[in-house]
């Protein structure tokens, strides 16, 4: 009977050792998982930041291009208006004068 009890005690001791080792491995795996998740999150954040910077730079380039086109268009319109004024000044003044004196 004592021999059976000793065997049971040894079995329980081995089972406890196995459980302790399993808990240690579980903790190590959990820590490795946490580190891997943190690394992955950092990589995702870095990639997201890079993409945002690229999109921002692209938007800035498009805005600058559109701004330059608007400036060019505005300058062309001003030049056209000035040419129109120079070429048609006398006839425009005459039309305004005639419109005034008709009333």
Q: Is the pLDDT confidence value at 47 over 90? A: yes
pTM exceeding 0.75: no
94 has pLDDT over 90: no
pLDDT of 52-71, one tens digit each?
999 999 999 999 999 999 99
Closest CA to 55 of 63, 43, 65, 44: 63
Continuous segment of H or E residues that includes residue 103 = none
Enter the DSSP assignment of 1: -
Q: CA of 63: how far to CAs of 31, 52, 54, 55, 56, in Å?
A: 47, 16, 14, 12, 10
Q: With 70 as the cut, is the pLDDT of residue 103 above it?
A: no
| Average pLDDT along the chain | 94
């Amino acid at each position: 009977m004592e021999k059976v009890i000793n065997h049971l005690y040894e079995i329980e001791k081995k089972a406890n050792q196995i459980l302790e080792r399993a808990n240690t491995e579980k903790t190590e795996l959990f820590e490795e998982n946490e580190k891997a998740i943190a690394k992955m999150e950092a990589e995702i954040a870095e990639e997201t930041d890079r993409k945002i910077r690229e999109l921002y730079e692209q938007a800035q380039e498009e805005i600058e291009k559109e701004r330059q086109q608007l400036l060019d268009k505005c300058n062309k319109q001003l030049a056209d208006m000035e040419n129109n004024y120079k070429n048609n000044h006398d006839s425009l003044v005459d039309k305004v004068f005639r419109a005034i004196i008709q009333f």
